[in-house]
Structure 1
Amino acid sequence: MTLLRIEDLRLSFGGLLAIDGLCFSVGQAEIVSVIGPNGAGKTSAFNCVTGFYRPAGGQITLRGKSLSGLRPSAIAGLGIARTFQNLRLFGELSVLDNVRAGAHLWLRQSIFDALLHTPRYGRSERECTQAAHHWLDFVGLRGDRYGAARNLPYGEQRRAEIARALARRPDLLLLDEPAAGLNHGEKAEMLDLIRRIQALGIAIVLIEHDMGLVMEVSERVVVLNFGREIADGRPEDIRRDPAVIEAYLGSDTHA
Structure 2
Amino acid sequence: MSLLEVEDLRLRFGGLLAIDGLSFSVEEGEIVSVIGPNGAGKTSAFNCVTGFYRASSGRLALRGENLLGLRPSAVAARGIARTFQNLRLFGELSVLDNVRAGAHLWLRQGILDALLHTPRYRRSERECTEQAHHWLDFVGLRGDRYGAARNLPYGEQRRAEIARALARRPDLLLLDEPAAGLNQGEKAEMLDLIRRVQGLGIAIVLIEHDMGLVMDVSERVVVLNFGQKIADGRPDDVRKDPAVIAAYLGSEAHA
Asked if Structure 1 and Structure 2 have the same fold, meaning a TM-score greater than 0.5 normalized by the shorter chain, the answer is: yes
In 1, the alpha carbon distance for the partners of 2:253 and 2:170 equals: 46
The match for 2:144 is 144
4+ residue runs of structure 1 moved beyond 4 angstroms? none
* Structure 2, unaligned runs of 5 or more: none
Corresponding residue SS for 1:97: helix
The match for 1:29 is 29
In 1, the alpha carbon distance for the partners of 2:212 and 2:12 equals: 32
* Structure 1, unaligned runs of 5 or more: none
The match for 1:227 is 227
Structure 1 residue 51: Cα displacement: 0.4
In 2, the alpha carbon distance for the partners of 1:39 and 1:250 equals: 15
- State the AA in 2 paired with 1:42: K
In 1, the alpha carbon distance for the partners of 2:56 and 2:151 equals: 40
Structure 1 residue 70: Cα displacement: 1.0
Are residue 180 (structure 1) and residue 183 (structure 2) matched? no
What's the TM-score once normalised by structure 1's chain length?
Answer: 0.99
The match for 2:249 is 249
In 2, the alpha carbon distance for the partners of 1:192 and 1:157 equals: 17
The match for 1:67 is 67
The match for 2:156 is 156
CA contact (8 A) 2:10 2:56 kept: yes
Structure 1 residue 253: Cα displacement: 7.8
- The Cα offsets for residues 195-219 of structure 1, whole Å up to 9 and x where unpaired, read as 0000000000000000000000000
Structure 1 residue 250: Cα displacement: 0.3
In 1, the alpha carbon distance for the partners of 2:149 and 2:3 equals: 33
- State the AA in 2 paired with 1:165: A
Structure 1 residue 9: Cα displacement: 0.2
- Percent sequence identity over matched residues? 85
In 2, the alpha carbon distance for the partners of 1:153 and 1:223 equals: 32
Structure 1 residue 14: Cα displacement: 1.3
Are residue 7 (structure 1) and residue 7 (structure 2) matched? yes
The match for 2:82 is 82
- The Cα offsets for residues 224-248 of structure 1, whole Å up to 9 and x where unpaired, read as 0000000000000011000000000
- State the AA in 2 paired with 1:136: L
The match for 1:135 is 135
| Equivalenced residues, count | 255
CA contact (8 A) 2:51 2:75 kept: yes
Corresponding residue SS for 1:20: strand
The match for 2:56 is 56
Are residue 18 (structure 1) and residue 48 (structure 2) matched? no
The match for 2:209 is 209
- State the AA in 2 paired with 1:143: G
- State the AA in 1 paired with 2:240: R
Going from structure 1 to structure 2, the CA distance change for 1:120 and 1:191 (only over 3 Å counts) comes to: same
Corresponding residue SS for 1:23: strand
- State the AA in 2 paired with 1:248: Y
In 2, the alpha carbon distance for the partners of 1:37 and 1:253 equals: 15
Corresponding residue SS for 1:221: strand
- The Cα offsets for residues 136-181 of structure 1, whole Å up to 9 and x where unpaired, read as 0000000000000000000000000000000000000000000000
- State the AA in 2 paired with 1:202: I
Question: CA RMSD for the aligned pairs?
Answer: 1.0
Corresponding residue SS for 1:232: strand
Structure 1 residue 254: Cα displacement: 11
The match for 1:102 is 102
In 1, the alpha carbon distance for the partners of 2:154 and 2:36 equals: 25
In 1, the alpha carbon distance for the partners of 2:218 and 2:115 equals: 47
CA contact (8 A) 2:29 2:202 kept: yes
CA contact (8 A) 2:221 2:238 kept: yes
In 2, the alpha carbon distance for the partners of 1:150 and 1:254 equals: 44
Structure 1 residue 101: Cα displacement: 0.1
